[in-house]
Structure 1
Amino acid sequence: MLIIAGHLAVDPAERDAYVADCRPVVELAREAPGCRDFALTADSVDPGRIDVYERWDTEAELEAFRGSGPDAGTAARILDAEVSRYVIASVGPA
């Protein structure tokens, strides 16, 4: 299992529009084979931060969904990013 987690920095005035524009990607991801969870959400404290959380069964399924990444217009709106990939060896109840 893989977890992709972190955050994006965008112009605070554009954050809510960015999140709204990402809704189709979130919907597609959640329907993709191997996707257990996918969320891009407005941070509750920082007005320029978008929290990223993805959970995938396999690397191959993640890469099949990802393709070439965000389009140039979407990528240009990201001022900074800190997103990491975590490979999970086991999972159990919390």
Structure 2
Amino acid sequence: MIVVSGIMEVAPADADRFTTLTRRLVDATRREPGCVDYRFAQSIERPGRFEVFEEWADQAALDAHVRAAHYRDWSRALKDLEVTQMSIVRYAAAERTVLA
């Protein structure tokens, strides 16, 4: 299993546009084969800060995701926004255990 986690920050003035663009990305991505979980959450503490969390069945599923048209469209659209920070980390997980 592959886990991707991190943060993205956009200028507060771009937060609504980022949310609109990203909602379409999330909806399409969740239908992809191998997508276990895919979400963005807006921080209640910092306007324009979004937390990213993804789970993929394997690296091949993640690779297919970054080649998908909806992901490429989203990436291109980000160029029209002021992205002020991005820190995304990929983890390879040996197992997934549900604790509650």
The percent of aligned pairs where both chains have the same amino acid is: 27
How far off its partner does 1:41 sit? 2.2
Distance 2:59 2:79 in 1: 22
Residue 73 (structure 1) aligned with residue 77 (structure 2): yes
Aligned to 1:93: 98
C-alpha separation between the residues in 2 aligned to 1:36 and 1:16?
26
Give the C-alpha shift of residue 84 in structure 1: 0.3
Query: Is 1:84 paired with 2:68?
Result: no
Instruction: Give the deviation of 1:63 after TM superposition.
Output: 0.6
Structure 2 residue runs without a partner (length 5+)? none
Aligned residues: 94
Q: Using the TM superposition, give the Cα deviation of residue 61 of structure 1 relative to its aligned residue in structure 2, in angstroms.
A: 0.6
Runs in 1 of length 4+ with deviation above 2 angstroms? 68-73
Pairwise CA RMSD of aligned residues? 1.6
Q: Distance in 2 between matches of 1:83 and 1:54?
A: 10
The AA in structure 2 aligned to 1:92 is T
Segment of structure 1 superposing worse, 7-16 or 68-77: 68-77
What is the one-letter code of the residue matched to 2:75?
D
1:43–1:49: 8 Å Cα contact kept in structure 2?
yes
Which digits, 9 at most, give the CA deviation of each residue in 1:2-58, with x for residues without a partner? 111010010012112211221111011100000011112211211120111111000
Please tell me whether the aligned partners of residues 19 and 41 of structure 1 are also in contact (alpha carbons under 8 angstroms): no
SS of equivalent to 1:65: helix
